[in-house]
Amino acid sequence: MTVHSSFQDLRIWQESMDLTVEIYQATSSFPKHETYGLVSQMRRAAVSVPSNTAEGKGHRSDPEFVRFLFHARGSLLELQTQLLIARRLHYLSEEKADELSRSGDGIARGLNALINKFHPKAA
């Protein structure tokens, strides 16, 4: 009997869940007029990273998993851009923006490693 690991066992999923919670907390203090703008976009991009990782893990083929990992990576790059915007607008302190960006960089390295594992020529 083969035991398949759950998406919850993936370190990259765990780290991206942590980052998502941090993004929700950090954006809670953004100006009210950004609720449907930058706050919504950042939260959506953050949620997309672990969601795509989990959905991809649920597929039975490596190419499908890789396709969802690429979506997760794209969302992460979107989030990292939005962090830079929030920093420039002074919605986030330099320290908080750097901390969140470092977390994103670590997740990006993990996503790239997984992509390379299943599709070496893709990353």
Angle at the Cα of 78 (from 68 to 83), degrees rounded to 5? Answer: 140
Query: Helices 40-57 and 11-27, interaxial angle, to 10°?
Result: 170
All residues at 6 or more sequence positions from 81 whose CB lies less than 8 Å from its CB, including other chains: none
- Output the tens digit of pLDDT for each of the chain's 123 residues: 334 678 999 999 999 999 999 999 999 999 999 999 999 999 999 999 999 999 999 988 889 999 999 999 999 999 999 999 999 999 999 999 999 999 999 999 999 999 999 887 655
Q: Are 104 and 79 in contact (CB under 8 A)?
A: yes
Alpha carbon 9 to its chain's center: 16
pTM: 0.92
The pLDDT, as a whole number, for residue 88 is 97
The pLDDT, as a whole number, for residue 8 is 93
The pLDDT, as a whole number, for residue 35 is 94
The pLDDT, as a whole number, for residue 1 is 34
Domains and CATH numbers, the chain: 7-26+36-118 (1.20.1440.60)
**Residue 59, SS3 per DSSP:** coil
